[in-house]
């Protein structure tokens, strides 16, 4: 048997490959430079252009571009009217921002468990966590796979809840042929460099509701409006006049970030196709390795996969997840874990959350890791990753 690199053997590759990486080309760079040469580097026309591109792509009626995905979630919670004493149901297997947005509004995040095969929030668990205080559901399209939109919509309609979709992983994904972004009451996107397309930083909320749209734009800019329709003290004094009618923030994005995102959006279909090709190669390779379990997909989701997660069947391996992770790293494949259950963090513990709350999510967390997935990976890169997984599994397979 091949000796693992961690035990002094030859690594599968010498130059390390990471789990994700942005792809910025000369056209993207030129788009940014053009804006820097123009009159507006913020509050300019690129922002509306980005919003239009996002509406066209997702088929949502409105889009509000903001400074990052976390701001998008905060704005959505504010627009949903979430406040002190409310509860917001979300998943623990996510980035902390999906739950923090409720805390920003004085509400309490309530964690529903995941489906152990798809890793997305389980609609039955959502149902079991609803109380008279529940105001909204923040459902995360984990790894890019769409959440069970139909079931969650039904629950939200039945109990009068606002359905917020955290699609930070899921730009490019469709559910039942409809773009993620056009389905929930509000959908939040992130354009951080680890995500499918990037603006350096950046985010957006899409919605089909004019009322939410107005509230989102107010939340983005200090609660200040120039719109005659929204101003309360009419007639006003002159063209310089504006009003603050609520408490908002400065969550604006710059025009050069917007230009980068617009330019990246033009490549989204290419990125999606390549990501899907890689996912298919991985799925096929791991079908023959019983110790490696792959994520299940619901048939409704045409997924633009952001992360590829392998789950280790630790009963069949003579190693811990940590040992597998370290061995992969020594082979030249730097994995990552997405995510530590949010309520395990010390801050959440201090708020009274305890381990054991969502057994499926905790069990999944303990045996998963994300392997490299990004469109610029070559077929050789993909094969290296597969070989590293195979080598490590062969080495640690029990009774061998």
Q: What is the number of residues in the chain?
A: 400
Binding mask 125-164 for ligand PLP (x = CB under 6 A): ---------------x------------------------
The phi and psi torsions of 94 (rounded to 5 degrees) equal -160, 170
Give the CB-nearest residue to ligand PLP. Answer: 69
Residues 236-295 that bind ligand PLP (CB under 6 A): none
- Considering the rule CB under 6 A, would residue 190 count as an interface residue with ligand PLP? yes
How does 257-272 read in b/e, with b if 16+ C-beta sit within 10 Å? bbbbbbbbbebbeebb
Q: What is the size of the binding site for ligand PLP (CB under 6 A)? A: 14
- Considering the rule CB under 6 A, would residue 217 count as an interface residue with ligand PLP? no
CB of 145 to ligand PLP, least distance (A): 12
Residue from 166, 331, 362, 384 touching ligand PLP (CB under 6 A): that is 166
Binding mask 194-213 for ligand PLP (x = CB under 6 A): ---------x----------
- Considering the rule CB under 6 A, would residue 69 count as an interface residue with ligand PLP? yes
What are the C-alpha distances in Å from 358 to residues 220, 318, 348? 34, 26, 14
Residue from 5, 78, 168, 304 touching ligand PLP (CB under 6 A): that is 168
Q: Hey, which bits of the chain come out as E strands?
A: 62-66, 87-90, 108-111, 134-140, 162-166, 174-175, 178-179, 186-190, 203-207, 224-225, 243-244, 292-294, 301-302, 308-312, 368-371
Q: Which residue number, 145 or 393, has a Cβ lying nearer to ligand PLP?
A: 145
- Considering the rule CB under 6 A, would residue 98 count as an interface residue with ligand PLP? yes
- Considering the rule CB under 6 A, would residue 88 count as an interface residue with ligand PLP? no
3-state secondary structure of 286: helix
Neighbouring-strand partners of residue 225: 243
Strands 301-302, 174-175: pairing kind: antiparallel
Residue from 74, 192, 305, 311 touching ligand PLP (CB under 6 A): that is 192
The phi and psi torsions of 371 (rounded to 5 degrees) equal -100, 165
Binding site for ligand PLP (CB under 6 A): 68-70, 94-95, 97-98, 140, 166, 168-169, 190, 192, 203
């Amino acid at each position: 048997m091949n000796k693992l690199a961690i035990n002094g053997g030859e690594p599968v590759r010498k130059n390390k490959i990471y789990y994700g990486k942005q792809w910025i080309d000369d056209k993207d760079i030129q788009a940014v430079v053009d804006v820097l040469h123009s009159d507006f580097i913020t509050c300019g026309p690129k922002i509306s252009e980005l919003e239009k591109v996002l509406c066209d792509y997702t088929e949502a009626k409105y889009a509000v571009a903001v400074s990052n995905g976390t701001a998008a979630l905060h704005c959505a919670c504010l627009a949903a009217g979430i406040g002190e004493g409310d509860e917001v149901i979300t998943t623990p297997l996510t980035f902390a921002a999906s739950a923090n947005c409720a805390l920003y509004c004085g509400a309490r995040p309530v964690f529903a468990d995941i489906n152990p095969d798809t890793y997305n929030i389980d609609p039955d668990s959502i149902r079991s966590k609803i109380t008279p205080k529940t105001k909204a559901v923040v459902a995360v399209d984990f790894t890019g796979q769409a959440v069970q939109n139909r079931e969650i919509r039904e629950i939200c309609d039945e109990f009068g809840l606002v359905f917020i979709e955290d699609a930070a992983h899921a730009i490019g994904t469709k559910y039942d042929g409809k773009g993620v972004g056009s389905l929930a009451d509000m959908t939040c996107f992130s354009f951080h460099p680890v995500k499918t397309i990037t603006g350096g930083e950046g985010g957006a909320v899409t919605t089909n509701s004019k009322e939410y749209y107005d509230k989102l734009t107010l939340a983005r800019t200090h609660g200040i409006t120039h719109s005659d329709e929204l101003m309360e003290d009419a007639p006003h004094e002159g063209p310089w006049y504006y009003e603050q009618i609520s408490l908002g923030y400065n969550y604006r994005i710059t025009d050069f970030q917007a230009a980068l995102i617009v330019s990246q959006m033009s490549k989204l279909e290419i990125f999606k196709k390549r990501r899907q090709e890689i996912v298919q190669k991985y799925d096929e390779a791991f079908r023959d390795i019983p110790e490696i379990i792959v994520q299940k997909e619901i048939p409704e989701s045409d997924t633009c996969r952001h992360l590829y997660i392998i789950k280790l069947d630790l009963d069949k391996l003579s190693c811990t997840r940590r040992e597998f992770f370290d061995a992969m790293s020594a082979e030249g494949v730097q994995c990552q874990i997405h995510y530590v259950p949010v309520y395990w963090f010390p801050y959440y513990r201090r708020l009274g959350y305890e381990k054991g709350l969502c057994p499926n999510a905790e069990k999944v967390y303990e045996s998963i890791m994300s392997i490299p997935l990004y469109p610029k990976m070559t077929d050789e890169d993909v094969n290296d990753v597969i070989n590293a997984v195979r080598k490590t599994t062969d080495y640690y397979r029990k009774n061998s």
